[in-house]
Amino acid sequence: MLEHTKHRGPDDQGLLLLGQAGEPLFHGRQPQDIASPILTETQVAFLHRRLSILDLSAEGWQPMATADQRLWITFNGEIYNFLELRSELETLGYRFRSDSDTEVLLAAWHAWGEACLHRLTGMFAFALYDQQHQRVTLVRDPFGIKPLHYAQVQGRLVFASEIAGLLAFDGVSRQLNAGAAARYLRFGVSNDGETTLFQDVRQLPPPI
């Protein structure tokens, strides 16, 4: 999946594997460094490709966690008002080690939960894992500028910024969605709500 999304972030990559209780089993850059037994214990996996724009240092590397490792995120996009949010969070006692909007987004979720989404201005798609609630949340910006696709495979949820990344995952079907294909050929509809040209692949709709 990382190889199929290399063009989306050629600068850097990162991998995170979490266990049954949300404990980090692996957090690194190279897939070959993962020991095989860890894979059988993995419950949540985040794979990230990065195009370095904000904070070129290692502090901006993803997947990123809060200091207490309660929240983990893999984030694609840009939060335009992150400096204003950062200032507000600093008045609440939050301290930042990087200059990235990703860290501000993590702190905002830590402070306000899902309500922070109403404060964000930008284009984004991200997956966030909350260890306290043992939950992964997938989010797109209100206008759906950044893509986020998903599929269910043998009781697991798989997601990626592009369908090509999903199709690289073993078990994701390439079966054609005949209805979506017909609408595309007849009307030129390329954005068809939650459906895609693949029967088992869905597009996460924007909130509005």
CATH number at residue 92: 3.60.20.10
Q: What is the pLDDT of residue 57?
A: 65
Q: Does some domain include residue 10?
A: yes
Q: Measured in whole angstroms, how far is the alpha carbon of residue 36 from the centre of its chain?
A: 24
- Given a cut of 80, is residue 208 above it in pLDDT? no
Q: Does some domain include residue 76?
A: yes
Q: How confident is the model at residue 4 (pLDDT cuts 50, 70, 90)?
A: confident
Q: Does some domain include residue 96?
A: yes
**pLDDT tens digits, 28-58:** 988 888 888 888 899 999 999 876 665 566 7
Q: Does some domain include residue 106?
A: yes
**pLDDT tens digits, 50-106:** 766 655 667 778 999 999 999 999 999 999 999 999 999 999 999 999 999 999 999
Q: Does some domain include residue 65?
A: yes
Q: How many domains does the chain have?
A: 1
Whole-prediction pTM: 0.90
2-to-17, 112, 136, 150 alpha-carbon distances in Å:
14, 31, 20, 15
39, two tokens = 């894979």
What rounded mean pLDDT belongs to the chain?
A: 90
Domain of residue 118, residue span:
3-141
